[in-house]
Homo-oligomer: A and B are copies of this chain.
């Protein structure tokens, strides 16, 4: 029998996260205070995040211990299996071996709890009583709800209203895990009331939801805010994916030629790829590909510049690939990839030619996603489809070149609560969205006002 899955025993789970800030070829530009234009210090962030997470955010230690309290919760589903996609390989008929890390085995079905559990733990240790956050399609909100429940913290989630109404399942997960989930814009904050006064039927946006979550959080001195992607400490917590994958590949005597993940804010992609990026920095010949939507092509078409992380300009200025903080991504079903920016760590590694971006249209990603489900069984999330599209592209290239390749990608989550998007695909309602060159010009203007990284 061919081996399909490589398990790690629980005692083989990584005990430290990998911090790539220790290995960067050149130093990263710091986040800037938008008022002073100077680097933000820990004190600037203290009202927003607990100090222990702020310390992680700026740490340059290569290895950071994973606390026992975090590990024992991660063990509810980790180590996740490394799988080989024999059936999908057969369909492609190319000289490639395709391995994937199945992050869909977590309770909410994605990689998000890897950092949610860590953030809830550090907040608990710090003394936080309640965590506020925002969520788009609900992957992050559901993961944080579960993590808060596990550590006895309250949790309040501002969920973009259009998703709140149209995607009830992840909202119901939050309820099941005991969180309060509010549609945004809401009448509970000034930011929300202002939007509602202008447009009572506003569908909301991630930018508005962030503003509401932060505003509401600041009224409660025992509360802190939490973000599910983009920031350094979030990417750090996700590196357990790649560290496990390295151990699993080693067990079967393999090493990837290509490492792939889909990228919205960058956390699942970073989680798998950063430990391999370390190898590349130290001379390993390996290709690392971030797959993004053609309608939100942060890495492939957005400038590398200082920009705000949110619409309301409440965050520090971050050095990143961005389409402008006021960019409104098209309503693609891969909700987790609808973000105007990209994690500074990923953006910096693209600048250093360690990582490359690739963009795929919505229809081509669903096409390969359905092929995957029909050969491998497991139904991928629409975000994950993007990674599969990059896998197919690499496989076809290997076939043309007649070269054998080992491909490893992050299967970031399952699509069981995203099946309405499959319905749209099968009924021919799904479309591609082009990004006009005009939008890129607009982004250049937006970021033109800020310092250059």
Contacts and interface: CB of A to CB of B under 8 A. Distances in A.
Contact of A178 (B71, B172, B374, B377): B374
A240 interface: no
Interface of A: 1-5, 7, 9-11, 68, 71-73, 75-77, 83, 87, 105-107, 109, 113, 146, 149-150, 168-169, 172-173, 175-178, 370, 373-379, 416-417, 419-420, 422-423, 426
A184 to B, nearest CB: 20
A117 to B, nearest CB: 9
Contacts of A378: 76-77, 107
B377 A107 contact: yes
Number of this chain's copies in the assembly equals: 2
A97 to B, nearest CB: 16
Contacts of A68: 1
A9 B248 CA distance: 13
A377 B76 contact: yes
A106 B105 CA distance: 10
15 contacts: A1-B68, A4-B72, A4-B76, A5-B10, A7-B7, A7-B9, A107-B377, A107-B379, A109-B416, A168-B420, A169-B417, A172-B423, A173-B419, A176-B422, A176-B426
Given A1-B68, A370-B176, A376 B75 contact: no
7 tightest CB-CB pairs across the interface, nearest first?
A107-B377, A172-B419, A4-B75, A7-B7, A107-B378, A76-B377, A169-B419
Given A1-B71, A5-B10, A176-B426, 13 more contacts: A7-B9, A77-B377, A77-B378, A105-B105, A168-B419, A168-B420, A169-B169, A172-B420, A172-B422, A176-B379, A176-B422, A177-B374, A417-B419
B5 A1 contact: no
Contact of A2 (B72, B109, B173, B178): B72
Q: In terms of DSSP, what is the predominant structure of the interface of chain A?
A: helix
Contacts of A5: 10, 75
A370 B423 CA distance: 30
Contacts of A416: 109, 169, 173, 416-417
A406 to B, nearest CB: 20
Contacts of A109: 416
B10 A3 contact: yes
Contact of A10 (B4, B375, B376): B4
A180 to B, nearest CB: 12
Contacts of A105: 105
A208 B1 CA distance: 42
Contacts of A172: 419-420, 422-423
Residue of A5, A72, A178, A420 with highest tally of chain B CB at under 10 A: A5
A1 B10 contact: yes
Contacts of A178: 374
Contacts of A175: 422-423, 426
Contacts of A376: 76
A193 to B, nearest CB: 27
Contacts of A3: 10-11
Nearest to A72: B1
Contact of A176 (B75, B176, B419): B419
B419 A149 contact: no
A177 B373 contact: yes
